Structure 1
Amino acid sequence: MQAALVPRPQVLVVDDEPRSVETIARVLDEEFDVLPANDAEQAMQVMETQPVQVVLADQRMPQTTGIELLMRLREQWPEAVRIIISGFTDAADIIAGVNEAGIYHYVTKPWHPDALLLTVRNAARLHSLQHENARLAQELRLSSDDLARQAAARRGELRRRFRFEEIVRGDGSPLNLAIEQVERMAPYDVSVLITGESGTGKELFARALHYNSHRAESPFVVENCGAIPNELLESELFGHTRGAYTGAVADRAGLFEEADGGTLFLDEIGEISPEFQVKLLRVLQSGEFRPVGSNRQRHTDVRIVAATNRDLEQEVRAGRFRADLYYRIAEMSLHLPPLRERPMDIEPLVTHLVDRQSGALGKTERHAVDPHTIACLREYPWPGNVRELNNVLKQMLVLCTDVRLGTELLPPRVLQGTPCGDFAEPALTDDFQGGTLKERVENLEAAILRETLLRHRWNKSRAAEELGLSRVGLRSKLDRYGLDRKLVS
């Protein structure tokens, strides 16, 4: 099957000298369809009947000059690229051609064939790019409704994701009180200070506040105040003008401007310096700020939600945090308890995080967490809170060889930080200091079994091999001493 021929660009050549038209046609003929015209009237007729991309007009013609013709063409066919050819380099003609006729190029006689061909080739490419740009602009206009629908769908998805009932927790969780409080705060334009240890979910609750408020259709913008130096924080929040400092090569909007109409979440607000606290307070009081390097005040309408793992009241008493700024950001306060105080949340959190991490890692199998593993996770104090739990589960998913996540996959620090990782020293504890010989021997055997299993991270095959037992024999002893039951109790 023969490929369809791509139509060649059409070039209109206007000159009252037929020989000049023929000469130009010979130069352009290999790449373009040349349409001749001997005067302005013929040129107008050609333009009305043919899709012309490029027009070459001689300047000196009877009745109408080339620039006058191109001015007329510009009014009716502005997309055609216009070129003037002249044997005279009159500055006034050049200026008139550029300003009034909008010419693309001024070619002087005698012209060189290669130079003329290159000029027309570039003009045709310019026409093609202008046409493509106009087509894309039209498509964007036509798709604006689709884009609006997509944006509305994404906003709807975010609102569903951050509904209060979507916050993962177990029955009787201390988070229930926090959720009740944030649900009451959400509709009101009050600033909220969220406190709690790192990793307890302060940003999650800030997003829930935003997406359940009347500002949900506007931006939610995050800034970690402890992640950048204070001297850059001003530019980050307020923006800067070009040349405000070394490296400021263009104007840049700050986060207060980006969040206008929405919510600005200032994480780790307790880390900002006393000097910057003054500047931040001024913005929160007046709603006005000035970009770095600018003399103009700008107005912003944002809801402030701040978070910290510090005790800001203690910081105020110590003089490290301004009292007036504290009362401005803490019109309402919300405290999130650490994970060690929420053992009932461990199992639903584990199920949720394993499913989410499995998808992120591209795992298609549904992984199940061993009950012994859940028991160990419940006993661990989680100094890093939910963030640490998420990392541990991710490591286990990477290391696992089947769909079961057992205690053998737990990091040593987790095992050693729980009763699952404790084992008695033989002959040094009370278990071996009373009772009959049989009872003491059984206590010693149970301790050895437990220590071996935990050292092998609950891999029963390796533990049985070290102890010279079969798996059936090991299982019998575990049942006899109730070790499985102790680990899950």
Structure 2
Amino acid sequence: MVAEMPAVLVIDDEVRSLEALTRTLDEDFVVFTAASAEEARTVLEREWIRIVLCDQRMPGMSGVQFLTEVRDKWPDAVRIIISGYTDSEDIIAGINEAGIYQYLLKPWQPEQLLLTLRGAAELYRLQADNQRLSVDLKVAEPVMRQRVADKRAAVRRSFATEALLRAPDSPMNAVCDLLEKVARVDVPVLLTGESGTGKELLARALHLASARAAEPFVTENCGAVPDQLLESELFGYKRGAFTGAYEDRVGLFKQADGGSIFLDEIGETSPAFQVKLLRVLQEGEVRPIGAPRPIPVDARVVAATNRDLEAEVREGRFREDLFYRIAAITVTVPPLRERVMDIPLLAQAFADGIFDSIGAPRQELDRETVACMTAYRWPGNVRELRNEVLRMVALADGGPVRAADLSPRVLRAGEADDEPELALLAGLDGDLKSRLEALEARIVRESLIRHRWNKTRAAKELGLSRVGLRNKLSRYGLEQA
């Protein structure tokens, strides 16, 4: 497709000058000519002119005066003036008033003239593109706003307490109900529980259920940052406050202004830092490092810890006044071993998410895999569960996900490392013979799963013949479904 040649209007009362300009431009432009301002107005009203090239000296009015009129009536046209040296001062004085793109001095050179007009044509194109983009943005703005609103609503729904996966009889139901009630009241909340139980997820759900949902939700892991750095992260600093402070930094408390700030592992902070944090909570203001005065902040504090803070207070490692400031409401998050009924739901959801992320078809976890998972105690809680599902999908390498790809500790449904193996035997019901048989059945089953139900390999590992293994499978009802 051949690009359209831009139209230029050349205005000069000298015939020879008009002819010379036309000969120079007619290969690259559609050239219209006028010998006076009156003729030029007629052309501008009739044709789509992109560039106006005007001589400064014309009968009745100057070039600057005419280009000022063009600016008012045909503002899209790019304006260029051409003149002799004696007119330079008058033109310079009128450049801003007339909005002149460029001016050329006589005698002009063909190469310079063409270069200037090509630049003017490109300027016109860019201006037109910008105008179209502005119109498009105005039309699209309501749609974009609605999309953003829909996306925010979807995020809120995905993190809301009702979206947290749990079974009908899960102890997490009571936790979520409590959070829904607490969200309505703007008080500090302390989430306690083991690492990996999902305290940050619950803190975000609390924020989204509150009146602050439209404002920022900011997080900081207090246990992962040294005190001095933690202070600058939370409170901010002024330029020059210390070596390396090359510019002002807004602290996380100020970033969370109007919203919520989640302070994870609050129990790991030092007593010295706890004093500074207490002042923030008491006074509602922070003082950036190096700042002459404090600044007000309004952020709801949600803290979390895997420590027993009451015991820490009794032993003098955590300030009592700070404890009562952050623990107006305390919510205890149960470990995964106390919500066994949630494990199948969580594991399947993690698997579906991983399959979707790699573009693979979803697979349903089989009963064997779920049985191993529900028998395990999960010291790493939900975080460990997700990593275990990720391991299975990775080792499956596109094939079926199997229990054999679980970690050995999960396959054996192991107890905590510090518990002896005989603790399992002691915890079984029945007499000694039935307990030993139950333990034997578990060992046989674990060996079969690890060898993907290859009876020859399992028998060899257990020191049994194939007939002996077959008898035990029949005795304990362990034939693969």
Check whether TM > 0.5. yes
Q: Deviations over 1:33-80 (max 9, x none)?
A: 122122222222222222222222222333222222222222222222
Is the CA contact 2:236–2:250 (under 8 Å) kept in the aligned structure 1? Answer: yes
Matching residue of 2:451: 456
CA shift, 1:197, in A, is 2.4
Counterpart AA for 1:477? K
Match of 1:430 in 2: none
Deviation, structure 1 residue 402: 7.7
- Matches of 2:386 and 2:36, distance apart in 1: 79
Instruction: Write out aligned runs for 1:83-162 (5 A).
Output: 83-88=80-85, 92-162=89-159
Distance 1:251 1:84 in 2: 48
What secondary structure, in the 3-state scheme, does the structure 2 residue paired with 1:100 have? Answer: helix
Residue of structure 1 aligned with 2:8, choices 11, 16, 21: 11
Give the drift of 1:213: 2.1
Structure 2 unmatched runs, 5+:
423-431
1:220-270 Cα shifts (integer Å, max 9, x gaps): 343444555665656655667888888888877655555444333333444
Deviations, residues 353-401 of structure 1 (Å, cap 9, x unaligned): 2222222232214322333x32322232322211111011111022226
Q: Which residue number in structure 1 is paired with residue 473 of structure 2? A: 478
* Partner residue, 2:407: 411
Distance 1:205 1:456, change over 3 A: same
How far apart, in 2, do the equivalents of 1:481 and 1:419 lie?
22
The answer to which of 307-316 and 69-78 deviates more is: 307-316
Judge conservation of contact 2:13–2:36 (CA < 8 Å) in 1.
yes
Q: Distance in 2 between matches of 1:249 and 1:420?
A: 50
- Report whether the alignment pairs 1:384 with 2:380: yes
3-state SS, counterpart of residue 7 of structure 1: coil
Question: Does 473-482 or 347-356 show the bigger shift?
Answer: 473-482
Count of paired positions: 470
Q: How far apart, in 1, do the equivalents of 2:336 and 2:64 lie?
A: 80
Residue correspondence of structure 1 range 398-437 to structure 2 within 5 A: 398-400=394-396, 405-415=401-411, 418=414
The aligned counterpart of 1:44 is 41
1:167 aligned residue: 164
Residue pairs, 1:141-290, within 5 angstroms: 141-226=138-223, 237=234, 255-256=252-253, 258-271=255-268, 280-288=277-285
**SS state of the match for residue 193, structure 1?**
strand
CA 1:453–1:151: 2 relative to 1, 3 Å: same
User: Does residue 1:24 correspond to 2:18, yes or no?
Assistant: no
Secondary structure of 1:307's match? strand
Is the Cα contact below 8 Å between 2:363 and 2:400 reproduced in 1? no
Query: For the residues of structure 2 that align with 1:242 and 1:55, how far apart are their CA atoms?
Result: 51
Structure 1 residue ranges without an equivalent (≥5): 426-434
Deviates more, 1:26-35 or 1:317-326: 317-326
Distance 1:122 1:414, change over 3 A: same
Letter in 1 for 2:44: M
Letter in 1 for 2:377: P
Equivalent residue number for residue 431 of structure 1: none
Deviation string 1:268-304 (CA, Å, 9 cap, x unpaired) is 4445566665665555445555777877976554333
Contact 1:408 1:458 in 2 (8 A): no
Distance 1:456 1:308, change over 3 A: same
Q: Distance in 1 between matches of 2:247 and 2:108?
A: 43
Q: Report the more deviating stretch, 410-419 or 376-385.
A: 410-419
Work out whether 1:308 is the aligned partner of 2:274. Answer: no
TM-score (norm. length: structure 2) = 0.81
Read off the aligned partner of 1:16 and give its amino acid letter.
D
- The one-letter code matched in structure 1 to 2:475 is R
Contact 2:336-2:378 within 8 A present in 1 as well: yes
Q: Deviations 1:322-367 (Å, cap 9, x if unpaired)?
A: 5554444333222212223332322222222222222223221432
Report Cα offsets for 1:409-440 as digits up to 9, x if no partner: 11123335616999999xxxxxxxxx99xx9x
Which range moved further: 403-412 or 445-454?
Answer: 445-454
Q: Which moved more, 1:267-276 or 1:81-90?
A: 267-276
- The match for 2:351 is 354
Q: What's the CA shift for 1:455?
A: 5.9
CA contact (8 A) 2:55 2:63 kept: yes
Tell me the distance in 2 between the aligned counterparts of 1:79 and 1:290. 52
Which amino acid in the other structure matches residue 203 of structure 2? Answer: A
Structure-2 separation of matches of 1:90 and 1:319: 87
Determine if contact 1:222/1:267 at 8 Å carries over to the other structure. Answer: yes
**Aligned-residue CA RMSD (Å):** 4.2
What is the TM-score when the length of structure 1 is the normalising length? Answer: 0.80
Deviation of 1:8 (Å): 1.7
Please state how far the C-alpha of 1:110 moved relative to its aligned partner. Answer: 2.4
User: Which residue of the partner structure matches residue 61 of structure 1?
Assistant: 58
Given the alignment, which residue of 65, 77, 80 partners 2:77?
80
Whichever residue aligns with residue 479 of structure 1, its letter is S
Matched residue of 1:349: which SS? helix
CA distance in 1, matches of 2:19, 2:289: 63
Q: 1: distance between equivalents of 2:221 and 2:227?
A: 11
| Separation in 1, partners of 2:468, 2:3 | 82
- Please say if residues 242 and 249 of structure 1, whose CA atoms lie closer than 8 Å, have aligned partners that are also in contact: yes
Identity %: 53
Larger deviation: 257-266 or 446-455? 446-455
Of stretches 265-274 and 5-14 in structure 1, the one that deviates more from structure 2 is 265-274
Conserved 8 A contact 1:367-1:403: no
Displacement of 1:192 in angstroms is 1.8
Cα separation, 2, equivalents of 1:448 and 1:263: 50
Structure 2 residue matching 1:368: 3-state secondary structure: coil
CA distance in 1 between counterparts of 2:90 and 2:290 reads 45
Residues 122 and 353 of structure 1: is their aligned pair in 2 closer, same or farther, counting only changes over 3 Å?
A: same
Moved more, 100-109 or 232-241: 232-241
- Tell me by how many angstroms 1:137 deviates: 1.6
C-alpha contact 2:171 2:339 (8 A) present in aligned 1: yes
